[in-house]
């Protein structure tokens, strides 16, 4: 196939001062995109700020012959998100691609989690993805074109000890991604998500060095770039990506059981509980209404 390029396209990458965001930015710029490199420059827990991280990535892009500008606003407020998008509009005149990658960690067991730990993680991950997408939406609709790639996590899809805040935020991003896919369809806005595993500040303290060396961000970014391609057909999907592994992830529903009659008892449920839990013939649904229709079809006989 022909080389996938982004000449004439303008992209925003949040949390792009290092790790995955840096890798995404460098690849898009190498393929012709003009990139807004957003990074607040804070620590992994969201504290502090600075300009060096974003500036270094912009310098890398320019040194390689690409075009980029830096932005240092936080995604966790609508005002910051508006300024991020305004940076793209002011520097390059439009916006075509949005990669929501910014994130922090405040891992602690649920029993010990503070309100601040919960709020801050949801503000950056879930609200941040919403804030920047919301600010970008008018420009994408105006251009009748958009590619949004959001960042979820295996922790959100499957849960993980010590990450109740992070897991809740990341699964919320899946629901947001799928809804944006539906609402963006008539405007040629495609919305997908990745659940990446890669070497970063967030993983280098929990994974051993030999494993991290096989999980370079550059093994994830090509999938992100493909999800930003002009001829992309998929929208509303989630992909697990890491170390060269790529797989679609889907929420599925089993065939289930339709209990007949006007009443239902706990004992009747117990008797068919094994069948209720059987996922042997599980299938995904395109949207909530399709899932509801399947249930209603059985209820109506």
- Return the active site residues: 166
Distance of alpha carbon 242 from alpha carbon 9, whole angstroms: 26
Phi then psi dihedrals of residue 51, to 5 deg: -110, -10
- Structure-token pair, residue 213: 């060396």
């Amino acid at each position: 196939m022909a080389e996938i390029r982004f000449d004439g396209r303008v992209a925003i990458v949040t949390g792009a001062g290092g790790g995955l965001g840096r890798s995404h930015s460098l690849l898009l710029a190498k393929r012709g995109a003009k990139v807004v490199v957003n990074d607040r420059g804070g620590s992994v827990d969201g504290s502090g700020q600075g300009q060096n991280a974003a500036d270094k990535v912009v310098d890398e892009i320019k040194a390689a012959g690409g075009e980029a500008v830096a932005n240092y606003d936080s995604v966790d407020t609508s005002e910051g998100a508006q300024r991020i998008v305004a940076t793209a509009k002011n520097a390059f005149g439009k916006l075509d691609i949005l990669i929501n990658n910014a994130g922090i960690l405040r891992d602690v067991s649920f029993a010990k989690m503070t309100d601040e730990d919960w709020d801050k993680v949801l503000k950056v991950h879930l609200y941040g993805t919403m804030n920047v997408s919301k600010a970008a939406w008018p420009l994408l609709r105006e251009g009748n074109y958009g590619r949004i790639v959001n960042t979820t996590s295996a922790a959100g899809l499957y849960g993980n000890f010590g990450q109740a805040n992070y897991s809740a935020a990341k699964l919320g991003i899946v629901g947001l991604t799928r809804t944006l896919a539906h609402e963006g369809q008539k405007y040629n806005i495609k919305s997908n998500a990745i659940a990446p595993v890669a070497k970063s500040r967030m993983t280098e303290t929990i994974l051993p060095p030999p494993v991290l060396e096989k999980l370079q961000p550059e093994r994830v970014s090509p999938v992100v770039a493909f999800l930003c391609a002009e001829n992309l057909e998929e929208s509303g999907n989630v992909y697990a990506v890491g170390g060269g592994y790529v797989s679609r992830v889907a929420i599925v529903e089993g065939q289930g059981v339709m209990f007949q009659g006007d009443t239902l008892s706990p004992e009747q449920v117990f008797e068919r509980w094994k069948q209720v839990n059987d996922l042997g013939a599980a299938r995904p649904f395109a949207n909530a209404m399709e899932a509801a229709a399947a249930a209603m079809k059985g209820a109506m006989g």
